[in-house]
Structure 1
Amino acid sequence: MNQIPIFHHLPKCGGTSVLKLLADWFKLIPDYRQGWATNHPARLNLDALTPEHCLCGHFELDGFHLDQRYPGLLENPRFWAFSFIRDPLEVKISLFRYEMKNNIGNKARTIEKHLSNRKNYLAGVLGVGQDDFKTLLDKYAFIGVLEKSDISVEILAWLLGKNKTALPWENKTFDGGKRSQDALPKHLIEQFEAENELDYAIYNYAIDRLNALKDAYQQRHAESRMSS
């Protein structure tokens, strides 16, 4: 592949594990803010990047979203943007654990209060609304789904021309199968789903896109086996 990969590392979506995988394939070029500060380092010189590099960052704050920090990048055929996403409720539970562990915010807050704050968190970090989320997501060459990590990584390797491998799990709270939300009461889950419809629309659209790629991937492999 002659394009330059850009990994949009959505927070709490398995990105740490994905980065470990990408480090075996590319020279990673990080573009993250320092801790929880709102200031970012200077913009990187995109002209200096080659297909051997992989730019990666959260791009989660308003004014610093990927298409704001690097205007035109998502439309530029020189770059190959991709990301991974996760079940919205699992994202918020993971974020709760992270903030509690690192003494961020109110330590005494409960999971119930946490889930009722920052509604549609994924939409916020992407900087999209109901009317434009599909337009933005369609600018990404690939969006993996953490709950479908095996096929996601397999397709990603295929698209990038890399050897097929498994995702090296870095976050012990998720191993590819267990769901933290299974321990929550049903009414809390239903309330969260009702209050975060946009996040679920984004997540389900990403699943639809992945399934379409899966069909193309499996068809290509079937044709390859028949011709060999």
Structure 2
Amino acid sequence: MGEEQHAAQPARRGGRPPLTESRKDEIRLEIAIAAVRLFTEQGLDGTSVAQIADAAGIATRTLWRYFPSKEACAGPLLSFGLDRFTSYVRDWPTDLPLAGAADDTRWFSDASPTRLLLVIDLFRLTQAEPTLDQVWIRCYSDAVAPLAVVLGERLGLPADDLRIKVKASMLLASMHQGLRHYVCRAPGEHGLSLEDTIRAAARIGLAAAEAPEL
């Protein structure tokens, strides 16, 4: 009887419970923050995967499960901002001109100041590190499709419509150029603040996204 009862009980699985997707995303972002800090302090060549893993508080073998290279570790820091912007555009009231969203930059200014500064540092690094620039290009490319879905729903067109794809690409390009413009200023050069630069770039991109085709 005892053996039969024991056999009928489900076997227990050892080890830790599987991580949720949201927790995996958090870990990726934590790794990205640790990586960009080290890249900024030591340079890309001077930073090892083991150092990134140690700074993130994980084992090196765990890091390799999340990223194929040390450069790729920076990706989630860029994707986080792009995803946040896409969500912001999606939630903008449909009865208001889309360009008006440029004057409300909470998607940008509400982000962690530390994280925001790291994004700026990362953009500066991409100027001199082609492999990091490739990471940005990949993040930008991956962000086009989700933004196209959002714009398509707003404008009543399918996300795979060429016009919507072009509009999504232009809108992301405007944000990209805004950041580039800010980080490429010469030391001591006067100009718009970071938030005002992003606002100006966003206004151009958002207006173009909602403008009727010629």
TM over 0.5: no
**TM-score, length of structure 2 as denominator length:** 0.32
Q: Which has the higher contact order (CA 8 A, sep 6+)?
A: 1
Structure holding more strand per residue: 1
Structure holding more helix per residue: 2
